[in-house]
Structure 1
Amino acid sequence: MRHFLIPFVFLLSALGVSAQAWADEYRETVNMFREAEAPQPYFKSAYGYAVFPTIGKGGFIVGGAYGEGRVYKHHKYMGTTSMAQASVGFQLGGQAYSQIIFFEDQRAYDEFTSGNFEFSAQAAVVAITAGASAEAGTKGTGASVSGGQNNARTSADYYRGMATFIIAKGGLMYEASLAGQKFTFTPK
């Protein structure tokens, strides 16, 4: 009996550490966005938000992106979300970025959490820090490089009740493509 308990206890403790590290990743990502100037007002006034610590994106003519995140309402964890993106057009490379989507009101939150939500190519994304392909997001309209926050667009408007910000983590992506993002939501 004791031989079975030792691996079981070890497994449970490893899962606890893993769950803690996962929670810390979300907390660190939210804090990173809180420290940036542009999204600060949204944390004060938004009904809720979805945060994605890492979205991986890559492409060569045809591309895609994927990331998993969490949804919060009034700063309380409400469930998980995933994002998938497909794109077509000139694109070459790969990158990783963090993304946050603010919900202006309950209507926008309910629309996002209804099950399957899509951002069209018209949705604007604000890049907060320097990075290649600063417009990496749903538009996919072109490659650009920003020298720092002073040279990047640092304000957003709500689109369909949502405002989106990204922070580039690494990589290099050249693109002039059309893309849209599709989200799923699972309540906790």
Structure 2
Amino acid sequence: MIIKKKFRSMLICRILFIMVLAISFTGVFLVNEIFAATGKEIDKDVDNALELFEQIKGSDNVLKKAKGLLVFPIVLKAGIGIGGEFGEGALRIKGKTVDYYNTAAASIGFQLGGQKKTIILAFLDDEALKKFRVSSGWKIGADASVAVVALGVGGAIDTASLNEPIVAIVFGQKGLMYNLTLEGAKITKIKK
């Protein structure tokens, strides 16, 4: 009798967990339809994000080496146990927007609250940029390895990581953010 109750409790917990997970995933992807920005709005936000990025020491090295920049000016992340994040951005080549993308990710684990950040993926290699552009959906960690740029001496970008084909710079209103992982983030091309 005790075993049956224990089994039933575990089964109910698993079912509830799967339901909450399904609702969270659905919510992350519905955000795209509810809060979708226009191409002009995304471009304006990308311009603002790049202005902030240029104020970080060492950003000029990234900008000089980059074959293309995928800029997500506003990525919102929220969670209570189960979390999700979403943002829209633009791929810039030689300073011009060539395509629009969104990024979405879900996570499970201890988390509470929200965060707003900017993510810039710098393609430092022509081949990496080409592979990205021909993909229909791109998942960080599965389709490509992305090195998250570390904070160096004096709060500057650590130039040692600029030898990788793709680097990510993540920052917020208080400057560079570190100890972050972008693994599992899915990037999808969108039409604007």
TM-score per shorter chain, which class?
Answer: 0.5 to 0.7
Map of 1:184 onto structure 2: 188
1:65, CA displacement in angstroms?
Answer: 0.4
- Structure 1: which 5+ runs fail to align? 1-17, 129-148
Matched, 1:75 2:79: no
Contact persistence 1:58–1:94 (CA under 8 A):
yes
> Pick from 125, 139, 149: which aligns with 1:118?
139
Matched, 1:41 2:64: no
Letter in 2 for 1:58: A
Partner Cα distance (1:151, 1:44) in 2: 19
Contact persistence 2:80–2:112 (CA under 8 A):
yes
1:20-99 mapped onto 2 (5 Å cutoff): 22-99=42-119
Contact persistence 1:55–1:67 (CA under 8 A):
yes
Map of 1:168 onto structure 2: 172
Letter in 1 for 2:140: F
> Aligned pairs, how many?
148
**RMSD between superposed Cα atoms in Å:** 3.3
Partner Cα distance (1:177, 1:21) in 2: 27
**For 1:110, what is the secondary structure of its paired residue?**
helix
- Structure 2: which 5+ runs fail to align? 1-37
Map of 2:25 onto structure 1: none
The TM-score with structure 1 as length reference comes to: 0.65
- State the percentage of identical aligned residues: 29
**For 1:157, what is the secondary structure of its paired residue?**
helix
Partner Cα distance (2:180, 2:50) in 1: 29
1:21, CA displacement in angstroms?
Answer: 5.4
Map of 2:124 onto structure 1: 104
1:176, CA displacement in angstroms?
Answer: 9.8
Contact persistence 1:125–1:156 (CA under 8 A):
no
1:55, CA displacement in angstroms?
Answer: 0.3
Larger RCO (CA within 8 A; separation ≥ 6): 1
Q: After alignment, is 34-43 or 114-123 more displaced? A: 114-123
When Rg is computed on C-alpha atoms for both structures, the one with the higher figure is: 2
Partner Cα distance (1:176, 1:98) in 2: 12
Contact persistence 1:58–1:92 (CA under 8 A):
yes
1:123, CA displacement in angstroms?
Answer: 4.1
Partner Cα distance (1:90, 1:163) in 2: 27
Q: Which has the higher helix share?
A: 2
